[in-house]
Amino acid sequence: MNQKSNLLLGKIVSSDITQKLSSSIKDLKNKNIIPKLAAILVGDNPASKIYIKNKSKFFVKNGCESETFNFSSDSNQSEIISCIKQLNNDDSIHGILVQLPLPKSFDDSIILETITPKKDVDGFHPYNVGKLFSGNPQFIPCTPHGIIKILDYYKINTSGKNCVVIGRSNIVGKPMFALLSQKFETGNATVTMCHSRTNNLRHHTLNADIVVCAIGIPNFLKGNMIKKGSVIIDVGINRIVENSAKKSYKIVGDVDFESVINIASHLTPVPGGVGPMTIAMLLYNTVSSAKLNNT
């Protein structure tokens, strides 16, 4: 089998989604509404700066707007909360996100809960988390939502399948568990959530039809941990040394690509797999918010 024939390419799905969103964006513009994202960046984390820059470029490229609000790491938490409250009341802003991780001196929960649920395009507010787990979501966290869109686009059947989610974060693991187990078209799976304290992880992954790996460890999931023909979703983005002498680096996922590619029936590559979907679903949520708040 040609190696590329079983790759699930998020960049293709992302293009399909943005193309479908273009008519909604055009309709909103005809009403003098331009979907706009407000991004809050705290500190000087280089990766966070790149993420925010890429999100802004993506929004502008697709006919929307993005504005970044920068705060130094020694800013007062109350300043950030005050900024969010102003954005909550600004009708020109349709989506608000706080780039994570925040510096350790800040309380993520307090800051994220300040965002009004109707502009919480990351889907992290307890209100939106509750809506998701009750089966009536408003805004779904972007990465898990993007994974569902990939499975849907490539017609990967999840109904009745055994799925393993490795990782229990609020950003990926928990919402992924909720989505796969819900009574949705791409759902109805029997889902096991595994994590760093799971005993005999290999036992679970060997019995899984679908594995979503979001553990944050480079090349963690090996070929001898999965069954033949399974579907593997790699959420990891890890920067590792490629050549120490030349000080060069490369990006790898949480899945050991070379040992898995000939065993899995389908696999998301890194880069080019889940990554492009996260930003596409952020746009999707922001456009949805613009429509929701202007009807």
CB-CB contact of 142 with 282 (8 Å): yes
Q: Is 61 noted as a catalytic residue in this protein?
A: no
Single out the catalytic residue among 36, 55, 118, 149: 55
CB-CB contact of 236 with 253 (8 Å): yes
Q: Is 122 noted as a catalytic residue in this protein?
A: yes
Single out the catalytic residue among 99, 118, 149, 182: 99
Q: Is 247 noted as a catalytic residue in this protein?
A: no
Longest dimension (CA), the chain: 58
Single out the catalytic residue among 36, 119, 122, 138: 122
For residues 295 and 291, what is the distance between their CA atoms, to the nearest angstrom?
A: 6
For residues 5 and 60, what is the distance between their CA atoms, to the nearest angstrom?
A: 32
Integer-rounded Cα radius of gyration of the chain? 19
According to DSSP, the β-strands at 162-166 and 190-194 are parallel
Residue 242's CB is within 10 A of a number of other CB atoms, namely 12
* Distance of alpha carbon 17 from the chain centroid: 15
Q: Which of 291, 11, 274, 12 is nearest to 145 (CA)?
A: 274
Enumerate the active-site residues: 55, 99, 122
